[in-house]
Amino acid sequence: MSWWELAIVVALILFQPELRGLFYRLRYPRTARFLRRVPRIEVAEEVVDAVDRLSRSSHGAIIVLEQEMSLLQYAETGTELQANASSDLLVTIFTPYTPLHDGAVIIHGNVVLAAGCILPLSQSPLPDRIMGTRHRAALGLSEETDSLVVVVSEENASISVAHKGILYRSLSTHELRNILGGQMPRLTTGHTSAGEMRA
């Protein structure tokens, strides 16, 4: 192997995250910045409706909404869908015993990129025994990215959202709608940050 071939290999290794981001933008041309910044009211309503239905049925779910940071590396751990985000699709995915129900759905813009995705688990202790792997995964991804991660508890049907290392717990659908619209609630005892859990 010549020196320049070796240099190319080293460059590919060193700049892998940047190259993955470039590939992501080329692969999904609808990733225009305004799609990430402008509140996606229609998608938010679909997610809220799906979460409400899943909560009423006590079906666990974890739904990730991509913000500025690319989630391609996490989407690649699941099954690619490239389908329009709809309440019916989300409810179907998280119906128990279906092939993709035991993982996360990742949404970019108005598109469900993939389902059955594996997310990084937070190493912080959870404050409630009822909170399990889904909450730990939601918090873990929120510690590493700027995504909004919605969780429906299979144990008690409660709704939570993880964002920037903070877990907003026991939310109503109205509060969820506000969060997806960019209105983060004030911290209360029902909300837990990763720092507080480590303390």
Q: What is the pLDDT of residues 114-128, one digit of tens each?
A: 999 999 999 877 666
More confident residue, 193 or 120: 120
State the average pLDDT over residues 129-154. Answer: 90
Is the domain of 129 the same as that of 190? Answer: yes
Q: In which region does residue 66 sit, left (phi positive, over 0), alpha (psi from -120 to 50) or beta (all else)?
A: beta
pLDDT per position as a tens digit, 170-181: 999 999 999 998
Is the domain of 17 the same as that of 110? Answer: no
Is the domain of 90 the same as that of 156? Answer: yes
Q: What was the pLDDT predicted at 39?
A: 39
Full domain range(s) for residue 3: 1-30
Is the domain of 38 the same as that of 78? Answer: yes
State the average pLDDT over residues 131-142. Answer: 90
Q: What was the pLDDT predicted at 184?
A: 76
The span from the CA of 146 to the CA of 163, in Å, is: 7
State the CATH number of the domain containing residue 135.
Answer: 3.40.1700.10
